[in-house]
Chains A and B, each alone.
Chain A
Amino acid sequence: MRASSHSKVPTPSVCCDHQRRTCLLLAIDAKDATYISFAIEGFDVVRSDATDFTKRYHPLGDYPPERCAQLYASYSRDLGASEQAILELGKLTTISDQEKTMATKKRAANAASVPAEKPAAKKAAAKTAPAKKATVKKVAGDGATNRPSAAQLFQELIMEGKKTDDQIFAEVQKQFGLDEKKRGYVKWYRNYLEKQGKNPPAAK
């Protein structure tokens, strides 16, 4: 029963699945179906169970396989194709040696790009590593010292409103060793606090 249903499919022939994805059926018997599949990695010869194949694919009908092979061969120059696929396509249409090398080289390049995921994994690991360090630092910071940054000190002194801008800068300069070019930071932080909606007292 199976064999008779499979033998109805002529070979070679163009088939498509329920989503109208095409393939080129090369041979089918009671057990196996051999076909050229169409994927972004390139063309490849696939062997699958004949029953599964007939369940998934049906003949496209009235479309010469030679014409399809011609199209597949032209696509293979950019998508790539395995040597076996090129060999099978070559039986149905004429493919120049240059096209053959282009297709197989492209395929090899596609295959080589797959292990490129390894460095990505390393990068991911590298990304997680500093995160651990950061947490360690934070724990240490929560401990004894908890020294404020210059930015923090600027903002605290501005919010106190007891000192003039020059006095604020002098104090921060003393603690953090800032140079004279950063005198304008006091104004900048006052403006920043205003934008944050903290209503800092006006400059004295």
Chain B
Amino acid sequence: MSYAIKDTSYEGKYGPVTRFELEVDGVHMATLTQAGRKDPELTWAVHGPQSWPAAKQLLLGLLELSVHADKLSKGAFNARVKS
């Protein structure tokens, strides 16, 4: 059992849209989206009972997505500019 984060970014109508999708064993679990310079949005949903091994992977995947979300955030941008 493992998770993967796929980069499915695309060129939207109003500019580039950064999108990362979390999959646990090939099943879509969560999406991180950032349109232009807006704040990144993390959406996720779990349907039905999850086994503990799957839940662990989901937990890790969400934490990893949070790292990517932080990278895309304005805070990280400001920190980059300062340094």
* Interfacial residues, chain A to chain B (CB-CB below 8 A): 14, 19-22, 38-40, 60, 62-64, 66-68, 71, 75, 79
B70 interfacial contact with A, CB 8 Å: yes
B interface residues, tally (CB under 8 Å): 23
Alpha-carbon gap, A60 to B68, bound state (A): 9
Smallest Cβ-Cβ distance to B56: which chain A residue: A40
Alpha-carbon gap, A58 to B20, bound state (A): 17
By a CB distance below 8 angstroms, the chain A residues around B80 are 62-64
14 A-B pairs within 8 Å (CB atoms) are namely: A19-B2, A19-B4, A20-B7, A20-B20, A20-B64, A21-B5, A21-B64, A62-B71, A63-B71, A64-B76, A64-B83, A66-B79, A75-B63, A79-B63
By a CB distance below 8 angstroms, the chain B residues around A39 are 60
Are B7 and A67 touching (Cβ within 8 A)?
A: no
Are A71 and B5 touching (Cβ within 8 A)?
A: no
Are A22 and B76 touching (Cβ within 8 A)?
A: no
Q: Evaluate whether A22 and B70 lie within 8 angstroms (CB atoms) in the complex, with A63-B76, A64-B80, A67-B76 already known.
A: no
Smallest Cβ-Cβ distance to B3: which chain A residue: A19
20 extra A-B contacts, CB within 8 A, seeds A19-B3, A64-B83, A75-B63:
A19-B4, A20-B5, A20-B7, A22-B67, A38-B60, A39-B60, A40-B57, A40-B60, A62-B71, A62-B76, A63-B70, A63-B71, A64-B76, A64-B79, A64-B80, A66-B79, A67-B70, A67-B75, A71-B66, A71-B70
Alpha-carbon gap, A60 to B57, bound state (A): 21
Alpha-carbon gap, A146 to B29, bound state (A): 58
Are B79 and A22 touching (Cβ within 8 A)?
A: no
Are A68 and B60 touching (Cβ within 8 A)?
A: no
Q: Evaluate whether A38 and B63 lie within 8 angstroms (CB atoms) in the complex, with A62-B80, A67-B75 already known.
A: yes
Are B79 and A40 touching (Cβ within 8 A)?
A: no
Main secondary structure of the interface of B (DSSP, over half): helix
Q: Evaluate whether A20 and B4 lie within 8 angstroms (CB atoms) in the complex, with A40-B56, A67-B70 already known.
A: yes
Alpha-carbon gap, A75 to B57, bound state (A): 15
Report the minimal beta-carbon distance from B24 to chain A, rounded to whole angstroms: 12
By a CB distance below 8 angstroms, the chain B residues around A66 are 79
By a CB distance below 8 angstroms, the chain B residues around A14 are 67, 71
Alpha-carbon gap, A75 to B76, bound state (A): 18
Smallest Cβ-Cβ distance to B66: which chain A residue: A71
Alpha-carbon gap, A109 to B12, bound state (A): 47
Smallest Cβ-Cβ distance to A72: which chain B residue: B67
Report the minimal beta-carbon distance from B18 to chain A, rounded to whole angstroms: 12
Smallest Cβ-Cβ distance to B72: which chain A residue: A63
Report the minimal beta-carbon distance from B42 to chain A, rounded to whole angstroms: 14
Smallest Cβ-Cβ distance to A66: which chain B residue: B79
Report the minimal beta-carbon distance from B82 to chain A, rounded to whole angstroms: 9
